[in-house]
Amino acid sequence: MKLRIAHLYPDLLNLYGDIGNMTTLKKRCEWRDISVQIDPIYGNEKISFTDYDLVFLGGGSDREQLLVRDKLIKMKKELTAYVNDGGVLAAVCGGYQLLGSYYKLENETIEGLEILNIQTEVGKTRLISDVVIENEQFGTIVGFENHGGRTYINEHTPLGKVLYGSGNNGTDGNEGVIYKNVIATYLHGSLLPKNPKLADHIIKLMLEQRGLPSELKPLDDTIENNAHQYIIDRFVKK
């Protein structure tokens, strides 16, 4: 048994240490004797999403994001079907924006993949900060955000409520989206190394989708939890 991860276009979407998310999933599986294969996807070939247990989209500059959009829009139907069948998809920053209906820049509007009913518009300033959010299931999630876009998520459930930082748009207190088995967020940092509960949740979803037992052997997360707690202690007022 081997879990397979498609890491989409790491040559284009690799702005914020996104590789750390892959490293974390890989190690946390290996430490439990679950073997993982990560396929970096390059080029213009069609991706067979159903061969994968997780599809990961990272963040890139506006120019690179547009290149990725052009590739993925050709596979919109297949990726939408993958998500509707419960396929696990994690998207960070630029990858998150691409899942929505559009990203409106000053002079043009970039059409998105319409997997989520969310809209993004470019703002006057970039929102740059450490971030702490709270999710009912995983507790606090810590990370770092750096985005020019303001994202509005309509009826979607946010990944969390902002305790520190700006989140989706700096106004409504929401951060990210959680929808079916899609986890989308502005947080990098990298996201998963300091949020081991969220990392394990993604591993469980992958196992469940495969129809495998998803009970995970506990790991000693002292080093990770100390790094997580440091961000909360430093930025969130008690």
The C-alpha atoms of residue 83 and residue 77 are separated, in whole angstroms, by: 10
CB nearer to other proteins: pick between 83 and 175: 175
Instruction: Candidates 47-55, 83-91, 103-111, 187-195: pick the segment binding other proteins (CB under 8 A).
Output: 187-195
187, 176 Cβ separation under 8 angstroms: yes
29 labelled catalytic: no
Catalytic option among 93, 147, 156, 201: 93
The C-alpha atoms of residue 67 and residue 137 are separated, in whole angstroms, by: 35
CB nearer to other proteins: pick between 184 and 192: 192
Q: In 143-236, which ranges are continuous DSSP H helix?
A: 196-209, 222-235
Number of amino acids touching other proteins (CB under 8 A): 35
DSSP string, 57-91: E----HHHHHHHHHHHGGGHHHHHHHHHTT--EEE
Please tell me whether residue 112 binds other proteins under the rule CB under 8 A.
no
Instruction: Candidates 23-31, 46-54, 80-88, 167-175: pick the segment binding other proteins (CB under 8 A).
Output: 23-31
CB nearer to other proteins: pick between 18 and 175: 18
CB nearer to other proteins: pick between 11 and 85: 11
96: amino acid identity, one letter: Y
Residues whose CB is less than 8 angstroms from the CB of residue 218 and which lie 6 or more positions away in sequence, other chains included: none
Please, which of residues 208-237 interact with other proteins by CB under 8 A? 220, 223-224, 226-227, 230
Q: What 8-state DSSP symbol labels residue 50?
A: G
Output helix, strand, coil percentages for the chain, rounded to the nearest 5.
Answer: 30, 30, 40
93 labelled catalytic: yes
Please, which of residues 151-170 interact with other proteins by CB under 8 A? none
The C-alpha atoms of residue 216 and residue 209 are separated, in whole angstroms, by: 15
CB nearer to other proteins: pick between 2 and 234: 234
Of the candidates 3, 7, 13, 24, which one interacts with other proteins according to CB under 8 A? 24
Please tell me whether residue 175 binds other proteins under the rule CB under 8 A.
no
| Contacts to other proteins by CB under 8 A | 11-12, 14-20, 23-24, 27, 61-64, 67, 126, 128-130, 144, 146, 148, 188-190, 193-194, 220, 223-224, 226-227, 230
